[in-house]
A and B are shown apart, each in its own frame.
Chain A
């Protein structure tokens, strides 16, 4: 694992939509598991993709083993709510009587941000779980988090609850969740970006918003789709206009990659580049290659 992440128990992968968050989360999880860390990778109320990327059947809302030392779960609101309620109530019969009640279910939908709280609560609960011998059930949890705007809302939820909900079970849970998220010794954010102007700008904004508004620390920036230098100006000489344009185009992408890298380095956080992978099928092999490219082992 990359040095900036190797002692972190919670890794939050986020960025603009379409930059490759899920792929990255998946590659990090694979790498973590390979190092012998018991790793849980979580998708949050999304269309499940990680199991398919690793060539495994769908895992659904139950924590399911995918590989040696690797588990996955697709955290969904209904099941998370049930788990959360059962944890507090201890008795299934009470849960069924109260929470499966139509009126109550309706009511719970309108407790502000309760859905996000239980989703996050379920993920972070796994951070505290221990095995009979006292060791952690999961050494590391990786969250394939929502994209930019929703990520800020999502991770702000514990603070929103602390500010709006009077003391009680919900707000004390929110307090420890907030503490775990903002503790730089426990948690690191991985921001995924692309070498284009808008994704880079969004990465800079997201970094600032997470730092200032949510108080979370960026541990690593991954610049995906990086184009390595290949051509010099002289390579375009003596070619047909079409071919010369291909060279120019490639050089533009090289330049864009270089500029993006410089801008992102301005954050003062380590930036790792991952080249654009051109493969016929985007499957487990691609993930394995990205995991290898991330290096750090």
Chain B
């Protein structure tokens, strides 16, 4: 097989790794960024995973919203001499939201928005907003920095498609007919009359407020009123972010494991990416068990009984695993016809340092090939 991932990375300035949780998505993202830097393509790997796995795999204590270069000592320890700089960052959701408001909100609205309780929960606690923040950050990094390569690790599949949709959803929030209908009386009433859809009288509002309390509605009205002036800025960014995702220089790498329960998700995800016209460079099938060579069975058959029993059991287990994985790979290949698969064998050690990431990159880059 040709080195599909190497070519995709070399010809891309944005790579997004996507897939379900626990398949090594973050590790693959970090390995691609590392390898690119070693080969001379300066890179930034950006993760939004709340469990801080990337920090672990890079041997770092913690990452902030800052784009930190990987310490030369870590490269030295791994015996690597990168020809370009590799940086890593972990998205701080709250910070990114605040930066966004600070940049786009009119001066007189800024503090009101930042202090609004709706804004605060939207920016920190509201599920789904991390996808938006990731896209926002990606766009910012693409336009305000000049990294030859940005590798973005997306959140796991349960919510993963949200990121495709996130910029549009925020727009929808501020700019659809319902929003206009809700806001019109408030806008007309000016900033001292923020009585969103006449709280006192409306039957609808009364019913909703039985759930939320009237104050909540008022807060939401304030929030929407304050951000309504920001529509144009957001709209433009959403359009450009979408364009960025669809660009020729953007590649998606779908990461999965060979086990049955992960495959269905991967196939589903592949279909959705295709439907959305996203370019899937390859599907990385991580941690595939290699088949047992015949010679080993023969050797084991000649061993003394006690040793033979233990090794035979071990070979049987390996064989069963390898067969299961091979079936999975075949299923994936058939279901995702047209998208190349890159298989990575199961490593005996966790990948948690630059050495391990570089080792992994041999399989991703096509230096070594593995087929089942």
Same complex: yes
Query: Per-position contact with A for B318-346: 1 when CB-CB < 8 Å, else 0?
Result: 10110110000000000000000000000
Interface: A136 (CB within 8 A): no
Check A243–B56 contact: CB distance below 8 A: no
The answer to whether residues A252 and B349 also contact, given A153-B127, A246-B315, A282-B261 and a CB cut-off of 8 A, is: yes
Chain A residues, Cβ within 8 Å of B118: 110, 112, 164
Interface: B121 (CB within 8 A): yes
- B31-39, B207-215, B232-240, B245-253 - the one binding chain A: B207-215
Measured CB to CB, the nearest residue on chain A to B306 is A235
**Residue from the list A16, A106, A165, A169 in contact with B178, Cβ < 8 A:** A106
Query: Per-position contact with A for B19-55: 1 when CB-CB < 8 Å, else 0?
Result: 0111100000000000000000000000001111100
In the complex the two chains form, what is the Cα distance from A20 to B144 in whole Å?
A: 41
Chain A residues, Cβ within 8 Å of B210: 88-89, 168-169
Check B56–A201 contact: CB distance below 8 A: yes
Check B352–A197 contact: CB distance below 8 A: yes
Chain B residues, Cβ within 8 Å of A146: 158
Chain A residues, Cβ within 8 Å of B230: none
In the complex the two chains form, what is the Cα distance from A108 to B352 in whole Å?
A: 43
Query: Per-position contact with B for A186-224: 1 when CB-CB < 8 Å, else 0?
Result: 000000000011110110011000000000000000000
Check A98–B204 contact: CB distance below 8 A: yes
Chain A residues, Cβ within 8 Å of B315: 246
Check B311–A98 contact: CB distance below 8 A: no
Chain A residues, Cβ within 8 Å of B310: 230-231, 235
Measured CB to CB, the nearest residue on chain B to A252 is B348
Chain B residues, Cβ within 8 Å of A280: 320, 323-324
Check A196–B299 contact: CB distance below 8 A: no
Check B127–A116 contact: CB distance below 8 A: yes
Chain B residues, Cβ within 8 Å of A107: 178, 182, 208, 220
Chain B residues, Cβ within 8 Å of A243: 296, 299-300, 311
Interface: A297 (CB within 8 A): no
Chain A nearest Cβ from B369, distance in angstroms: 19
The answer to whether residues A246 and B296 also contact, given A164-B121, A166-B213, A235-B307 and a CB cut-off of 8 A, is: yes
Check A18–B204 contact: CB distance below 8 A: no
The answer to whether residues A47 and B125 also contact, given A149-B49, A202-B53 and a CB cut-off of 8 A, is: no
Chain B residues, Cβ within 8 Å of A247: 311, 314
Check A153–B56 contact: CB distance below 8 A: no
In the complex the two chains form, what is the Cα distance from A257 to B173 in whole Å?
A: 48
Chain B residues, Cβ within 8 Å of A279: 320
Interface: A175 (CB within 8 A): no
Chain A residues, Cβ within 8 Å of B261: 22, 49, 282
Check B314–A250 contact: CB distance below 8 A: yes
Check A198–B56 contact: CB distance below 8 A: yes
Candidate in B22, B50, B57, B293 with the most chain A CB atoms within 10 angstroms = B22
The answer to whether residues A16 and B299 also contact, given A153-B127, A252-B348 and a CB cut-off of 8 A, is: no
Query: Per-position contact with B for A30-53: 1 when CB-CB < 8 Å, else 0?
Result: 000000000000000111010000
Told that A147-B22, A230-B313 touch, could you supply 10 new A-B pairs with CB distance under 8 A?
A49-B261, A85-B211, A88-B210, A103-B181, A146-B158, A152-B50, A168-B211, A170-B213, A170-B216, A201-B56
Interface residues of B (CB under 8 A from A): 20-23, 49-53, 56-57, 117-118, 120-122, 125-127, 155-156, 158-159, 173, 176, 178-179, 181-182, 203-204, 207-213, 215-216, 220, 257, 260-262, 264-265, 268, 293, 295-296, 299-300, 303, 307, 310-311, 313-315, 317-318, 320-321, 323-324, 348-350, 352
Interface residues of A (CB under 8 A from B): 16-19, 22, 45-47, 49, 85, 88-89, 94, 98, 101-104, 106-113, 115-116, 146-150, 152-154, 156-157, 160, 164-171, 196-199, 201-202, 205-206, 230-231, 235, 239-240, 242-243, 246-247, 249-250, 252-253, 278-280, 282
Instruction: Give 10 nearest A-B pairs by CB, closest first.
Output: A17-B21, A18-B22, A149-B50, A168-B213, A17-B22, A112-B121, A166-B215, A106-B178, A166-B213, A197-B350
